[in-house]
């Protein structure tokens, strides 16, 4: 069938794409992207690896938000974020730094990936303090690093399986967990899970440590309901937030006072989530 050109549609897509790219990649995003993808040299992951499939899909927007919500359930991890991350004052800066780290470790040359790891580890060395419950924390603690890692891997994988263009097969899911383990080891996690089953077991082992602190609930309200966004971006973000919450397990919602509406989530929220992902892919297709 012959496609019908819509006057001005491409320019609209271009403007939206540039705005979204600037939000997630920052003012130097294009230069960074060029170096990550085109600098010559060996890379950690070949073009056929599942980590490249997952991290290139628009479902990462959902996975990232889900990961932040899940990570906040560990009181010591949340205390570190609340005291040191500046997520309220500069949420988009934090998003840009996280996105750049994921991109360079997934697609960049070995030297750049190791430089990014070294910078994160240097920051972790400075992040330490005392949680509201009186326990000391340190961001470089391997136990806390592992919690952040498994929450991310679980979130990225589950959101990709639900909303990604090409959901992974069971062997590919194991390979994705193994790919992510490579990055975790470099960051200081001594024995990260390497299969989907091991990932589920590791998350279950953390559950006795998790709870919804006032700081975690406040962060969830900020991320889901009051992020600094222009008026026109709020309706699609509301869909993103609803889909991210719907992808969380029931046990993770009550501590954060998040709703559980299985019928609505299986119908309206999932349909809206797929629509939003399709729109994001169109915007990012240029």
Residues 182-222: pLDDT tens digits? 999 999 999 999 999 999 999 999 999 999 999 999 999 99
CA 92 to chain centre: 13
Residue 3 lies in a domain: no
Residue 82 lies in a domain: yes
Task: Write 261-264 long-range contacts (CB < 8 A, 24+).
Answer: none
When divided into structural domains, the chain yields a total of 1
Residues 6+ apart with CB under 8 A from 262: none
CA–CA separation, 72 and 79 (whole Å): 9
Residue 100 lies in a domain: yes
**In this structure, are residues 63 and 155 in contact, taking their beta carbons and an 8 Å threshold?**
yes
pLDDT in tens, the chain (286 residues): 444 555 567 776 677 666 666 666 566 767 878 889 889 999 999 999 999 999 999 999 999 999 999 999 999 999 999 888 766 766 667 777 888 899 999 999 999 999 999 999 999 999 999 999 999 999 999 999 999 999 999 999 999 999 999 999 999 999 999 999 999 999 999 999 999 999 999 999 999 999 999 999 999 999 998 888 878 888 999 999 999 999 999 999 999 999 888 888 889 999 999 999 999 898 877 6
Neighbours of 186 (CB within 10 A): 17
DSSP 254: G
Residues β-bridged to residue 137: 129
* Helix (H/G/I), strand (E/B), else coil: 40: coil
CA–CA separation, 28 and 270 (whole Å): 34
Residue 262 lies in a domain: yes
Residue 170: what are its φ and ψ, rounded to 5°? -60, -50
Residue 21 lies in a domain: yes
What is the extent of the structural domain holding 219?
9-283
Q: Angle of helix 29-38 relative to helix 91-107, nearest 10 degrees?
A: 10
Residue 109 lies in a domain: yes
Radius of gyration of the chain (CA): 19
Percentages helix, strand, coil for the chain (3-state, rounded to 5) are 70, 5, 25
Residue 256 lies in a domain: yes
Neighbours of 218 (CB within 10 A): 14
In tens, the pLDDT along 242-260 reads 999 999 999 999 999 998 8
The pTM of the full predicted model, rounded to 2 decimals, is 0.90
CA–CA separation, 281 and 279 (whole Å): 5
157: closest CA among 267, 70, 261?
70
Residue 196 lies in a domain: yes
CA–CA separation, 266 and 86 (whole Å): 34
């Amino acid at each position: 069938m012959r496609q019908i050109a819509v006057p001005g549609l491409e320019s609209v897509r271009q403007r939206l794409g540039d705005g979204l790219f600037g939000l997630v990649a920052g003012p130097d995003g294009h230069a960074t992207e060029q170096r990550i993808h085109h600098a010559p040299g060996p890379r950690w992951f070949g073009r056929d690896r599942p980590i490249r499939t997952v991290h290139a899909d628009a479902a990462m927007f959902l996975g990232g938000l889900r990961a932040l919500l899940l990570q906040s359930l560990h009181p010591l991890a949340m205390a570190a974020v609340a005291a040191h991350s500046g997520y309220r004052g500069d949420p988009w800066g934090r998003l840009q730094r996280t996105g750049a780290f994921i991109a360079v470790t997934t697609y960049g040359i070995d030297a750049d990936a190791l430089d990014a790891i070294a910078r994160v580890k240097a920051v972790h060395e400075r992040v330490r303090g005392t949680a509201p419950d009186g326990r000391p924390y340190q961001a470089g603690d391997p136990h806390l690093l592992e919690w952040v890692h498994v929450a991310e891997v679980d979130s990225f994988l589950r959101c990709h399986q639900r909303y990604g263009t090409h959901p992974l097969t069971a062997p590919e899911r194991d390979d994705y967990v193994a790919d992510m383990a490579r990055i975790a080891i470099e960051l200081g996690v001594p024995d990260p899970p390497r299969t989907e089953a091991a990932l589920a077991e590791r998350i279950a082992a953390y559950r006795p440590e998790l709870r919804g602190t006032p700081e975690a609930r406040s962060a969830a309200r900020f991320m889901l309901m009051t992020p600094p966004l222009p008026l026109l971006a709020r309706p699609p973000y509301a869909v993103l937030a609803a889909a991210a919450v719907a992808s969380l397990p029931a046990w993770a919602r009550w501590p954060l006072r998040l709703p559980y509406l299985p019928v609505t989530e299986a119908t309206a929220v999932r349909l809206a989530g797929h629509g939003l992902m399709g729109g994001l892919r169109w915007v990012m297709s240029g």
